[in-house]
Amino acid sequence: MTVDVIARLRAELGDVVSFDAAALDVTRDDRSGWRSATPPIAVVHATSVEHVQATMRIATATSTPVVPRGAGTGLAGGAIGRDRAIVVDVSGMDRILEIDTSDEFAVVEPGVINDDLDRALAPHGLWFPPDPASKAISTIGGNIATNAGGLLCAKYGVTREAVLGLAVVLADGRLLRTGRRTVKGVTGYDLTALLTGSEGTLGIIVEATVRVRPVVAGATVTLAAAFPDIESAASAAAAVTASRVRPAVLELMDAASVARVAEYLGPDALAGTPLETIAPGAAFLLAQTDGAAAAAEADDVEGVLEASGARVVRSTDDASGERLLAIRRAFHGALASRGQVLIEDVAVPRSRMAAMFRAIEGIAARSGLEIPTIAHAGDGNLHPNFVFDADEVPESVWRAADELFRTARELGGTLTGEHGVGLLKQRWLADEVGDDSFELQRGIKAVFDPLGLLNPGVMFARAGEQVS
């Protein structure tokens, strides 16, 4: 069978398909720390819709699994080349097909890097709000496939809100178009929203019509605050939301995160910031306000933070604002310099953030693991991180992660706020959504993909297909 697949791929796709061991190997991991046990059988470097359609026709004819993949920057193992599968790499489909400056939408291929779209929009006074922290390296296709979040969601929405329509290659190779170019439209079920966040399990996104919006006018104000501990910082962040101000950015770092970043950046980078003299256990909060009311909103935020016992530094010029932001930006580099990193991604109602941070401290203490945690505090979205020195995520880390997920759910939250389920969290999905929802979702999957060929094992494993 595999021989037949390879022959057909070669015959129909020619140079576009690769069986080279090095090319296959590249697809075996992403940024999640996960690596597949065996390589896929082929990688199709698609540069056209027809390449993707031809691949799916061959896959269906030969019952071969297919893994859609973009830049490989995922954090949940959603696009990993593995045993017996064909990887469809769409990162070469990277053209911006249309920018409509009057109607404020863009039509893009899935491999367009998020930042590249913003660069193309800037001369028109427009931008693309979905802003995963990885936007310099991640693609819009992956962004949509995971319904990615980012730093600005509380104010500017998650990716779903920016997707007007999609073109998707179905399991059998047909091309489905969903949605429209209008702001409103309610003809039929919202397949666009269903496909957004479906992690390549229902179809392969080959084109997206995305909503863009006017650049926010005026200067941004940046506030940086040090708190004696993370719980008071988390309570202060919730108090900012409860005060009805809506900062564009509201980021939290706990004591372990602050300590790792301080070591990594060194004292010079912290001079003049609230972290210049770091008390043990200190937590850090960064807020940015934007738009016409930026200064007034920053006053309000500053008032709330100071009333909560924080030491606050305020910046209104870009350079000093950038210095404050650099503290937060250095976080991932600081951890990566110390070993392999598993980034978790729970979300809780904002008022429960302090409780979640407290629970993380307890889990860290009981497990003996350090769990540096940052949060998009405006969304209640926490990223607890595990650093380890091994090829695979150690079982002790998964046990701690399991406790994290259960705690988040008990607090009214979810096991993944923005990274997706992927291969990493499939075993927890049914626990969160419940058996009825799980069965309905599998029913929907079967409508789109009756042979179960699209990204099997991702999101929810089919019986007998659990990937470990």
Site for a second copy in 167-206 (CB under 8 A): 170, 174, 176-178, 180-191, 193-194, 196-198
Residue 215 in contact with a second copy, rule: CB under 8 A: yes
**Inter-residue long-range contacts of 45-48, CB under 8 Å, 24+ positions, other chains counted:** 45/16, 45/17, 45/18, 45/89, 45/92, 46/16, 46/88, 46/89, 46/90, 46/92, 46/93, 47/16, 47/92, 47/93, 48/93
The piece of 59-67, 99-107, 268-276, 365-373 that touches a second copy (CB under 8 A) is 99-107
Q: Rule CB under 8 A: is residue 135 a binding residue for a second copy?
A: no
31 binds a second copy (CB under 8 A): no
SS (H, E, C) 29-87: ECCCCCECCCCCCEEEECCCHHHHHHHHHHHHHHCCCEEEECCCCCCCCCCCCCCCCEE
Report, in Å, the least distance between residue 164 CB and a second copy.
Answer: 10
Contacting residue, 65, 380, 384, 452, with a second copy by CB under 8 A:
380
Residues 292-311 as x/- pattern, contact with a second copy by CB under 8 A: xx--x---------------
The residue within the footprint of a second copy, chosen from 50, 161, 299, 402 (CB under 8 A), is 161
Among 28, 51, 82, 246, binds a second copy (CB under 8 A): 246
Binding part of the chain for a second copy, among 8-16, 130-138, 261-269, 406-414 by CB under 8 A, reads 406-414
Q: What string marks each residue from 249 to 288 as x (binds a second copy by CB under 8 A) or -?
A: ----------------------------------------
Task: Confirm or reject binding of residue 123 to a second copy (CB under 8 A).
Answer: no
Which alpha helices (DSSP H) does 411-451 contain, by range? 426-433, 435-448
Instruction: Work out how close the CB of 1 gets to a second copy at its nearest, in angstroms, rounded to a whole number.
Output: 28
Side-by-side strand order, sheet with 96-100:
96-100, 105-108, 204-211, 163-169, 175-179
Contacts of 268 (CB under 8 A, 6+ apart): none
Does 25 engage in binding with a second copy (CB under 8 A)? no
CB atoms closer than 10 angstroms to residue 346: 27
As measured in angstroms, the least distance from the Cβ of 74 to a second copy is 12
Angle at CA of residue 242, ends 239 and 244, nearest 5°: 120
| Part in contact with a second copy (CB under 8 A); list of ranges 40-48, 63-71, 332-340, 427-435 | 427-435
Per CB under 8 A, does 97 bind a second copy? Answer: no
Residues pairing with 113 in the sheet: 139
Helix (H, G, I), strand (E, B) or coil at 113: strand
How many residues lie near a second copy (CB under 8 A)?
90
